[in-house]
């Protein structure tokens, strides 16, 4: 293909790539089922979710599972391309269409013909261009800048955003008609902290990929370190976890990753000494110490179970208790000791 991809867009026409969306949490199982369903259609998809949750991976999965898989997947980052360039990037331009247009250029929509275009950070698209995009979605035709010519294109559109588009619509920075046109099939990718039980799976997956990249090394992670990873909230989601693991293995001479190597913000997330300090105020009437201790204990047990998705072993570790001691306390508080893991944790 003659089209040269710029830095802020990629044209991937190499055919089926290795796209794997890891996760066994119920929300991820549902997500994969949804991906399979929409892959069989040409409907427009709007993917939303926090930064690093895997929105682009979802878009690629849809493409790879669709009949378009052997045609290009073109990713356009609407936030990274200067606004005045975005239109010609997307729809192309004629030679001399504007200052600096020394040669005609095929737009990304034409490059994606027969395949899928992924419009990332769609919330950052300028209003004027939103109107033009809406027309393309409705008419399946693009008009390169500086021409009266229209080119018919057959492109599946997948958009993504980590912004609240509904709010952007209310604030009139995003067109309502385009919002509904994009949102034919909405897909929400949940943050990692709402599917903590997938953290160990993702860790094994990323370590395996790192081992493939650095043959001869055999990185593993200690149970203690894993508990910290489990309890942390991951504001940067899967990307943050992936990058952390790479940093840890690159910076360490040993093959075992231990809790002491983890950054402070992750170690602090676990129930540490600083969080357990409280004021002692013993009034005239005294207090019922046993009742108070039980109340504190109960709250920490609850919190530990919540953080570990109901995994007793991990919860016991978080509270620095032996598994047997932890079980005894659970019985005392009337918690049924099964090993079910709660949804959303």
Ligand X SMILES: Nc1ncnc2c1ncn2[C@@H]1O[C@H](COP(=O)(O)OP(=O)(O)OP(=O)(O)O)[C@@H](O)[C@H]1O
Q: At what angle do helices 26-39 and 55-65 cross, to 10 degrees?
A: 40
Please give the backbone phi and psi of residue 4, each rounded to the nearest 5 degrees, phi first.
-100, 125
Whose Cβ is closer to Mg ion: residue 77's or residue 311's? 77
- Is residue 56 involved in binding Mg ion (CB under 5 A)? yes
Q: Taking Cα atoms as reference points, which of 185, 172, 209 lies closest to residue 66?
A: 185
Whose Cβ is closer to ligand X: residue 53's or residue 304's? 53
Whose Cβ is closer to ligand X: residue 208's or residue 224's? 208
In this structure, the dihedral spanned by the alpha carbons of residues 85, 183, 48 and 86, taken in order and rounded to 10 degrees, is 0
Residue 78, classed as helix, strand or coil, is coil
Residues 27, 344: Cα–Cα separation, whole Å: 8
Q: Taking Cα atoms as reference points, which of 207, 187, 117, 193 lies closest to residue 153?
A: 117
Whose Cβ is closer to ligand X: residue 89's or residue 242's? 242
Of the candidate spans 54-62, 147-155, 186-194, 309-317, the one that interacts with Mg ion by CB under 5 A turns out to be 54-62
27 within 8 A of 35, measured Cβ to Cβ: no
* CB 19, min distance to ligand X, A: 8
Q: Which does 309 bind (CB under 5 to 8 A by kind): Mg ion, ligand X, none?
A: none
* CB 155, min distance to ligand X, A: 20
Q: Please give the residue whose beta carbon sits closest to ligand X in the complex.
A: 54
Q: Which does 209 bind (CB under 5 to 8 A by kind): Mg ion, ligand X, none?
A: none
* CB 302, min distance to ligand X, A: 28
* CB 23, min distance to ligand X, A: 5
CA neighbours within 13 Å on the CB side: how many for 86? 23
Residues 310, 322: Cα–Cα separation, whole Å: 16
* CB 139, min distance to ligand X, A: 29
- Is residue 50 involved in binding Mg ion (CB under 5 A)? no
Residue 295 Cα distances to 289, 291, 298, 302, 315, angstroms: 10, 6, 5, 11, 17
Q: Which does 195 bind (CB under 5 to 8 A by kind): Mg ion, ligand X, none?
A: none
Strand pairing partners for 333?
A: none
Whose Cβ is closer to ligand X: residue 25's or residue 312's? 25
Please give the backbone phi and psi of residue 188, each rounded to the nearest 5 degrees, phi first.
-110, 125
Whose Cβ is closer to Mg ion: residue 50's or residue 56's? 56
* CB 260, min distance to ligand X, A: 26
* CB 96, min distance to Mg ion, A: 34
Whose Cβ is closer to Mg ion: residue 51's or residue 313's? 51
* CB 120, min distance to Mg ion, A: 5
Tell me whether strands 185-188 and 220-221 are parallel, antiparallel or unpaired: unpaired
Q: Which does 61 bind (CB under 5 to 8 A by kind): ligand X, Mg ion, none?
A: none
In this structure, the dihedral spanned by the alpha carbons of residues 182, 183, 184 and 187, taken in order and rounded to 10 degrees, is 120
Whose Cβ is closer to Mg ion: residue 12's or residue 303's? 12
Q: Please give the residue whose beta carbon sits closest to Mg ion in the complex.
A: 56
Footprint of ligand X (CB under 6 A): 20-23, 49, 51-57, 162, 238-239, 242
Binding site for Mg ion (CB under 5 A): 56
């Amino acid at each position: 293909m003659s089209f040269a991809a710029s830095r802020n867009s990629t044209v991937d026409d190499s055919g089926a790539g290795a796209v794997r969306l890891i996760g066994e949490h119920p929300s991820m199982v549902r997500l994969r089922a949804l991906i399979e369903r929409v892959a069989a259609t040409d409907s427009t998809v709007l993917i939303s979710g926090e930064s690093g949750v895997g929105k682009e991976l979802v878009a690629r999965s849809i493409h790879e599972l669709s009949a378009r898989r052997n045609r290009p997947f073109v990713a356009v980052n609407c936030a990274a391309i200067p606004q005045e360039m975005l239109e010609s990037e997307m729809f192309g331009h004629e030679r001399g269409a504007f200052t600096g247009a020394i040669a005609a250029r095929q737009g990304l929509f034409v490059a994606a013909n027969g395949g899928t275009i992924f419009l990332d950070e769609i919330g950052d698209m300028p209003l004027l261009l939103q109107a033009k995009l809406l027309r393309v979605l409705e008419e399946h035709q693009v008009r390169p800048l500086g021409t009266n010519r229209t080119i018919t294109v057959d492109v599946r559109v997948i958009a993504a955003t980590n912004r609240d588009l509904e709010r952007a619509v209310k604030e009139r920075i995003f067109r309502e008609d385009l919002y509904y046109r994009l949102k034919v099939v909405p897909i929400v990718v949940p943050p990692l902290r709402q599917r903590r039980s997938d953290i160990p799976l993702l860790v094994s997956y990323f370590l395996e990929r790192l081992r493939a990249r650095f043959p001869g090394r055999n990185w593993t992670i200690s149970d203690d370190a894993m508990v910290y990873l489990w309890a942390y909230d991951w504001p940067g989601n899967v990307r943050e976890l992936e990058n952390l693991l790479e940093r840890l293995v690159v910076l360490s001479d040993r093959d075992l990753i231990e809790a002491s190597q983890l950054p402070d913000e992750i170690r602090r997330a676990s129930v540490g000494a600083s969080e357990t300090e409280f004021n002692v105020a013993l009034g005239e009437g005294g207090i019922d110490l046993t009742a108070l201790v039980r109340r504190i204990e109960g709250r920490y047990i609850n919190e530990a179970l919540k953080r570990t998705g109901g995994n007793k072993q991990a919860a016991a570790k978080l509270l620095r208790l032996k598994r047997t001691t932890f079980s005894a306390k659970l019985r005392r508080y009337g918690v049924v000791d099964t090993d079910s893991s709660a949804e959303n944790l």
